[in-house]
Amino acid sequence: MHKLNTPISDEAIRALKAGDPVLLSGTVVTGRDAAHKFLVENYIKSDSIPAAEADLYETLKGLLDGGVIYHCGPVVSKIGEDQWKFVAAGPTTSIREEVYQADVIEHFNLKGVIGKGGMAGRTLKACQDQPAVYLHAVGGAATLIAQSVVEVANVYKLEFGVPEAMWVIHVEDLPLIVTMDSHGNSIHDTVEAQSKEKLAALLG
C-alpha cells in the first residue's frame, strides 16, 4: 500500500506501478467537462488570460502544482452560510476528458488524475512525460468515498452547477488503484486487448 500526500513529488509518482493500491491524503480539486473546457480555453490555449479570471488562475496554479484533479460530480449539502459537505463523491467516466487532459496535466504540473474507466493514449503519454498517474476510484461507492472527504475548503465556478463546479476538498486516506502509471502501463489497455482476444476465440 502506497500512502501519498499532496503535493506529490516526481519520485513518488515514478515509484508507482499499474495495479498498486494507494491511500491519498491532502488537497484535491474536482473537475469535469465544464471545468476542463474552461481551463483549456481560458488559460492553456488562450493568447491572454481574461482579466476577470487572472486571480483564479493563480489560485489554481498553486492548488494543482504537484496536485490531483478528480473527475467527480459530487452531491453536496450546505451546512452553513459558507460551509458545504460532500454527501456523495463518486467518480465520473474519465474518457470524456481525453481531449483536454494531457494539456491540463502538462500546464498545471498535475501528478494525479482520479476517475473511473481509464483514459486513452494521449493521457497515457502525458503521464509518462510529466510524470503523473491515473488513479481509479470505485464506481458505485459514492457515499463511501465521501467519507474520505474531511473538509470542503472552497468552490470555484459554482455557476457551472454543483456537479461541474471546481470543488477544493481535503481528503484523508482516499482508497484508489493506479491503473495508468508513468512507465507506459495501462490496465485498461491490457484488459481491452485480452477481451478482444477472448472475443475472437469465441467467434472462431
Provide the percentage of residues in the chain whose pLDDT is more than 70. Answer: 94
pLDDT score recorded for residue 142? 84
Mean pLDDT value of segment 62-71: 98
Q: Which of 104-118, 122-136, 142-156, 187-201 has the lowest mean pLDDT?
A: 187-201
- pLDDT value for 80: 75
Asked whether the beta carbons of 70 and 88 are under 8 A apart, the reply is: no
Domain residue extents for the chain: 2-203
pLDDT exceeds 90 at position 62: yes
- Mean model confidence pLDDT for the chain: 92
Please say whether the beta carbons of 169 and 86 come within 8 A.
Answer: yes
Question: Catalytic residue among 2, 36, 107, 170, which?
Answer: 36
Q: Is the pLDDT of residue 199 over 60?
A: no
- The pTM (predicted TM-score) of the whole model is 0.92
The answer, yes or no, to whether residue 201 has pLDDT greater than 90, is: no
Confidence of residue 105 (pLDDT cuts 50, 70, 90): very high
Q: What is the structure's pLDDT at 191?
A: 61
User: Under a CB-based contact definition with an 8 Å cutoff, are residues 123 and 180 in contact?
Assistant: yes
Mind giving me the DSSP string for 164-200?
A: TSEEEEEEEEEEEEEEE-TTS-BHHHHHHHHHHHHHH
Residues 103, 44 contacting (CB under 8 angstroms): yes
What pLDDT is attached to residue 194?
A: 64
pLDDT at 200 over 80: no
36 part of the active site: yes
Strand spans (E) along 1-105: 2-5, 21-30, 68-70, 75-78, 84-88
| d(C-alpha 188, C-alpha 183), whole Å | 14
Alpha-carbon gap, residue 164 to 153, rounded angstroms: 16
Class of domain 2-203: alpha beta
Q: Tell me the three cell numbers of residue 188.
A: 485498461
Whole-number pLDDT of residue 144: 83
Report d(CA 200, CA 75) in Å as an integer: 41
How confident is the model over 41-60, as pLDDT tens digits?
999 998 888 888 999 999 99
194 or 158: which leads in pLDDT: 158
Contact status, residue 168 vs residue 29, Cβ threshold 8 Å: yes
Note the pLDDT of residue 162.
94
